[in-house]
Amino acid sequence: MGVHYYKIVDWMEELDEPVFTDEDKVVVVATRTELSRDPVLPSWMTDYAMVDPETIHFSMAETNQYNLSGTFCIINHQRQEEESCFSYTIWPRGVLFIDESGTAIRIIERIHTYRQWKATDVGRFFYNFLEQLIYGDLRYLEQLERAVSRLEQQVLGDDLEDFNEEMADLRKDIIDCNHYYTQLEDLGEELVENEIDLFTEEEVRKFDVFTHRAARLRDESGMLREYSMQVQELYQSHIDLNMNSTMKMLTVATIIFVPLQLVTGWYGMNFRYMPELSNRYGYVGVIAVCVLIVIFCLWLFKKKDLW
């Protein structure tokens, strides 16, 4: 992939060669392997952490003595790929991304393509980078809400096919989003604290804006999570209702056949002196009695609204 160098000017200027002064504000994107080969870096770009992406499981920021470092673990809403995890370090004059997936480069290219710059500061660049992480996420949460609402309508319409599979996938997406936005909110709060005066007051205000946006997305995903739980409970209630209906029908059938079993058991004793056994109309009479018992039971259940 090669080490990528960008200079922060009125736009994100990609450098073909690592030619810059110590006064330039730069962004460097490289893999751990490329950094181990000692590429050309600004003299102040030191003390960065070589984090194994396999050990990165969440997004966070941590303030050090001379810089701020952290990790990103970006969820993929389309689920076509796994989460993209990489680390970063911020100095007053630049940012270093250590990324094996190419995600950081794609985000920077989007910033370069769509973002109109108003300042040439590292903090402003990183704010734009953070904004790209949640760009379009509100629309995605709306899509999830419509999907949950569709499942709710299916339950109300007694269409329960594949409900559990679809709801399980939706709830996993919603939970992942909720955790993701919580992590970004915590990351933003760390940037707002600005313990080592890494950012200007204007940049801190921008980070505060981002933190509030992440908090709103977290709240939105939290409400969506509760909505999905309500739909799940509605589905379970519907299943219980259907089960109760089935059990009621089985109970009615059982009660109807109990007196019939009594009759068959009674005449199955086959005593010698049972007048019905030798009576010409005994067989027909027993059948008539059984039919009357069934009719009476059905009438009684209908009257008591049990059937």
Mind listing the pLDDT tens digit for each residue in 199-252? 999 999 999 999 999 999 999 999 999 999 999 998 888 887 777 677 777 777
Provide the phi-psi class of 209: left if phi over 0, else alpha when psi is between -120 and 50, else beta: alpha
Query: Which of 90 and 21 is assigned the larger pLDDT?
Result: 90
* Integer Cα distance of 86 and 4 in angstroms: 15
Beta 26-30 vs 94-98: how paired, if at all? parallel
User: What domains are there in the chain, each with its CATH number?
Assistant: 1-118 (3.30.460), 245-303 (1.20.58)
Q: Which residue has the tokens 């910033």?
A: 111
Write down the mean pLDDT value for the chain.
85
Q: Give how far Cα 287 sits from Cα of 132, 265, 266, 290, 298, Å.
A: 81, 14, 14, 5, 17
Query: Which of 126 and 257 is assigned the larger pLDDT?
Result: 126
Q: Which helix (H) or strand (E) segment is 268 a member of? A: none
> What are the tens digits of pLDDT across the range 121-156?
899 999 999 999 999 899 999 999 999 999 999 888
Which residue type, as a one-letter code, is found at position 219?
D
Q: Give how far Cα 32 sits from Cα of 98, 105, 123, 277, Å.
A: 6, 15, 24, 97
Neighbours of 236 (CB within 10 A): 11
pLDDT value at 1 more than 70: no
What percent of the chain clears pLDDT 90, i.e. is strictly above it? 44
Cβ contact 100:71 at 8 Å: no
The whole model's pTM is what?
A: 0.78
